[in-house]
Amino acid sequence: RRGEMAKSTQLIDNEVFRAYATYTAIVLLKMMLMSLVTAYYRLTRKAFVNPEDAESFGKGESSKKFLRTDPDVERARRGHLNDLENIVPFVGIGLLYALSGPELSTALLHFRMFTGARILHTFAYLIPLPQPGRGLSWAVGYSVTFSMAYKVLKTAWLL
């Protein structure tokens, strides 16, 4: 039992892996918050896509007027999908990067830039800020993931 515990905490004892775990949990929680933002707009704007959801706001025919799209709901959904498209590669490539033996300071720089950029991206999308605010924050996160992928491929390359 103790042996198993020791084995299981090996990776989590490594500082780079701990940093990876911290920032990955933060960006995944941030992504999950987009569900609540969408739900908030659906409820306050009374704009639903499923008839069984609209039923909570009026029975039968009178609920059908709530089956509609709303600009704020759609904006939150686009922000959520953009998170999926960008945070999934970060989580996958970031794990391999953390295992490829980078310097802690270099790894922290990557993780912090990505996390900061994605938080800015969310604000830029939801407020919304004029371009190129959202575009630049997207590009920073994208470039950080590319940089980590380069290190992974240089270290691990076996085709």
Binding site for a copy of itself (CB under 8 A): 4-5, 7-19, 21-22, 24-26, 28-29, 31-32, 34-35, 49-50, 52-53, 55-56, 75, 78, 80-81, 84-89, 91-93, 95-96, 98-101, 128-131, 134, 142, 145-146, 149, 152-153, 155-159
Judged by CB, which is closer to a copy of itself: 53, or 70? Answer: 53
Query: Residue 48 in 3-state DSSP?
Result: strand
Q: How far is CA 159 from CA 63, 66, 94, 102, 155, in A?
A: 56, 53, 20, 22, 12
The least distance separating a copy of itself from the CB of residue 54, rounded to whole angstroms, comes to 10
CA dist 34 and 59 (Å) reads 28
Judged by CB, which is closer to a copy of itself: 14, or 45? Answer: 14
Judged by CB, which is closer to a copy of itself: 110, or 134? Answer: 134
The least distance separating a copy of itself from the CB of residue 62, rounded to whole angstroms, comes to 16
The least distance separating a copy of itself from the CB of residue 139, rounded to whole angstroms, comes to 10
Q: Where are the alpha helices (DSSP H) in 46-132?
A: 51-54, 71-98, 104-126
CA dist 159 and 105 (Å) reads 29
Residue with tokens 């800015």: 120
